[in-house]
Amino acid sequence: MKQPLQKTWNWIDSRIGYTDYVLPLLTHTVPRDARWWYVFGSATLTAFIVQVFSGICLAMSYVPGGDEAYESLKFITEQAPFGAFLRAMHSYGASAMVALVVIHLTQVYLHATYKYPREMNWMTGVVLFFVVLAMAFTGQLLRWDANGVWSVYVATEMAARTPIIGPTLSHFLLGGETVGGSTLSRFFVYHVFILPGIIFAGVGLHLSLLFRHGISEMPDVDRPVDPATYKEQYEARLEKTGVPFWPSAMWRDVVFSTLVVGVIVACSLIFGPPALDAPPDPANIHANPMPDWYFWWYFAVLSLLPPSYEFWFILGVPVVGFLAMFCLPLFSNTGHRAPSKRPWAVGIVIASLAGFVVLSIYGYREPWSPDFDVPELPSSVVGVDHGPVFDGAKLAHSKGCLYCHTIGGYGGHRGPDLSNIGNQLTRDDLIIRINNGGYNMPAFASSVNSDQLSDIVDFLMTRVEDKEPTNEGG
């Protein structure tokens, strides 16, 4: 029994060349010191495989049409067996892929693996990173609920800021002059054909470069990269201490990938797919467009920037960011790899991480967004049930003050908290401020009459907190 099997395999092997071509790649010698540091690249690939498989399955029911997309997603989520689970898997798979590609990139940057001779490994990786972000954005949009439609508007408006070709770009993205039937089918093609095609080709190139130059060693303070001698010394060290990739190094990749897929499946089972927003009606203004978590930081940046910097950030962050990262190894491909000798690299990573976390929290809370649903102030906060102060409290709600200002824990966060404003501004200051407005505050002179103004100011003057009054006016 064994003999014929062996014979068959030998026949196939001699024709397809497994032993000649594939086996040497699988068992090529790699440094033994990398251990757990190098599992993130393969885990990103695993997450991509999850995406490809769940995506293909979802595409069997998803209809990329203006009206039907939302209905087909509702069908997938609510009726199709395993539909909700697959949608959840595709969503958590996307999160995993974005997170892992960033971790992989950070690890490679910290260890300066992009230096000679692996410059192109890094450059292909940077292209892949941006394509993954584009996949994340277009994927969120294919949900084609109110959020999806308004995400298209935001993307279109951002593209429109490009000098000269802005409007052309926007109309290309929309597939016309407004959001319509062609918009979704175009984004569907990006998400399902074009971007995955680039990822397949990019991963192929990325991996072939990995095999060509070999897996890098852990950075060593005593061994800065010198292109004149690097390859020779690397080969010599590998010969002495290297181990075969399969299975001596790869088992760690497999263990970590198992963990990643396990987490994706567990999250999908426990939390389910992301909820669908309202239907994709561009005439529905009660939408509160918001990107998925990976773009909250950018959402915050766009809200916090002074308008005069906007052009540079809307176009600068993607374009300059890409170019700076892409060209990095062309400017720095020799010398130290150890983080301890590259304080700037460590600083940049820490600053980026801190910026990401802080801005993401800000983006999630979106304190700049008016609180449209704020209720009228309860009597426990107002303190009286008739008279000018009572009327002023009602006006603070109806005139929109509470949309942006918090009083006694109620209201938005765009403007300063007014809970202690009676201690901070004088009556005259308040009248001037309300009439004339201020930085980011509308002037209310034309929409509030003098009686109303007097009531509002009466009410605001009663807003004092028990602690000692401060001297910090204004």
Partner 1 sequence: MNENTKEVSCRDDVEDRRSFHARLSMILSAVIGALIVLPGLSFVLAPIFKQTKQKWRSVGKVDDFKKGSTVLVSFEDPSPEPWAGVTAKTAAWLRCVNDTEFIAFSINCRHLGCPVRWIDTAGLFMCPCHGGVYYSDGTVAGGPPPEPLDRYQVRVRNGQVEIHTAAVPLTTTPLNADS
Q: Which of residues 273-292 bind partner 1 (CB under 8 A)?
A: 279-289
Query: Residue 393's closest CA among 416, 373, 376, 415?
Result: 376
> Residue 274, Cβ neighbours under 10 Å: how many?
19
Burial class (CB in 10 A: 0-12, 13-18, 19+), 388: middle
Footprint of partner 1 on residues 222-281 (CB under 8 A)? 279-281
Name residues whose C-beta falls within 8 Å of residue 158's C-beta, 6 or more positions apart in sequence.
Answer: 314
Footprint of partner 1 on residues 121-160 (CB under 8 A)? 149-150, 153-154, 156-158, 160
Shortest reach from residue 411's CB to partner 1, in Å: 13
Name residues whose C-beta falls within 8 Å of residue 352's C-beta, 6 or more positions apart in sequence.
Answer: none
Q: Which is nearer to partner 1, 272 or 289 (CB)?
A: 289
Name residues whose C-beta falls within 8 Å of residue 179's C-beta, 6 or more positions apart in sequence.
Answer: 149, 152, 153, 282
How many residues make contact with partner 1 (CB under 8 A)?
71
Cα atoms in the Cβ-side hemisphere of radius 13 Å centred on 360: 10
Shortest reach from residue 417's CB to partner 1, in Å: 16
Shortest reach from residue 449's CB to partner 1, in Å: 12
Q: Which is nearer to partner 1, 253 or 455 (CB)?
A: 455
Shortest reach from residue 15's CB to partner 1, in Å: 29
Q: Which is nearer to partner 1, 310 or 465 (CB)?
A: 310
Footprint of partner 1 on residues 412-451 (CB under 8 A)? 414, 437, 440-443, 446-447
**What string marks each residue from 174 to 203 as x (binds partner 1 by CB under 8 A) or -?**
xxxxxxxxxxx-------------------
Shortest reach from residue 435's CB to partner 1, in Å: 13
Burial 443-452 (b: 16+ CB within 10 A, else e): ebeeebeeeb
Q: Which is nearer to partner 1, 8 or 398 (CB)?
A: 398
Shortest reach from residue 306's CB to partner 1, in Å: 8
Name residues whose C-beta falls within 8 Å of residue 443's C-beta, 6 or more positions apart in sequence.
Answer: 435, 436, 437
Tokens of 187: 């984004």
Shortest reach from residue 362's CB to partner 1, in Å: 12
Distance separating alpha carbons of residues 163 and 159, to the nearest angstrom: 9
Shortest reach from residue 293's CB to partner 1, in Å: 16
Tokens of 262: 């396990």
Identity (one letter) of the amino acid at 468?
Answer: E
Residue 261, sorted as left (phi over 0), alpha (psi -120 to 50) or beta, turns out to be alpha
Specify whether the CB–CB gap between 452 and 395 falls below 8 A: yes
Q: Which is nearer to partner 1, 339 or 370 (CB)?
A: 370
The answer to the question of residue 65 lying near partner 1 (CB under 8 A) is: yes
Footprint of partner 1 on residues 153-172 (CB under 8 A)? 153-154, 156-158, 160-164, 166-168, 170-172
**What string marks each residue from 295 to 334 as x (binds partner 1 by CB under 8 A) or -?**
----x--xx-x-xxxxxx----------------------
